[in-house]
Copies of this chain bind each other. A is one copy, B any other.
Amino acid sequence: MSQMQSVEKQLREMILGLEIGPGEKLTERWIESRFGASRTPVRAALLRLETEGLVGRDGRGWTVSPINLAELEQIAVYREAVEVAALRLTCSLADRSGVDVIEAMLESCDSNTPREEWHRVGMDFHIELARLSGNEFLFRAVRDAMTRLSRARWLEVRDEAALARAWAEHRAILAATRLGDAEEAARRLSAHIVGSRDRLVTSLANDRRGLRARGFAVVAA
């Protein structure tokens, strides 16, 4: 793998994994030495991560994008539009066997599954569901939206009950999709996204003090 992709990948993982906190300043020279690469691949990585919304320019320098509550609310509206459109498209397709693969993915999580795996599968559910539509643009839109939400979802205080509810909603969406019931599937997906947004925003707003204590920048709605 080229250094460029390597730096980009590693830096993205550090940001998404909160090893570098939201709001932290980044210098090209620090990244350079941290990953043993020169500035050329570092810049390429930063430019890419900028388009993903994970880093931004702060005057002359670079900053890891803060968690932005207003943005989270807007993303929920955006997600609803593209995910529902993708799901309706999928329901209209003859071959919806991909639903079973996603169902199996959900089933792979049980009480022994580490937290980070739940986190990943919870995002991949939406991404893979969008992929089934066969529309590259809807798929990318969902993937990018989930990437932007990723860090906030880490910060969310997840209780078992909330996770169980989310999984139940996921299964219900899949069931309706398998039957090709677009209306029902769309209704449940919309409700899931809105509910998910509410839980997320509430959780983050309540814990803002704690997050700031960890050095994480959280911008209000």
Binding site for B on A (CB under 8 A): 40, 43-44, 47-48, 51, 71, 74-75, 77-78, 80-82, 84-86, 89, 135-138, 141, 145
Contact = CB atoms under 8 A, between A and B. Distances in A.
Contact of A85 (B43, B77, B86, B136): B77
Given A75-B137, A81-B81, A82-B141, 8 more contacts: A47-B47, A47-B48, A78-B141, A80-B85, A81-B82, A81-B85, A81-B86, A81-B138
Contacts of A84: 81
A14 to B, nearest CB: 20
Identify whether the interface residues of A are mostly helix, strand, loop, or mixed: helix
A74 B137 contact: yes
Which 3 A-B pairs give the minimum distances between C-beta atoms?
A81-B85, A78-B137, A51-B51
A74 B133 CA distance: 11
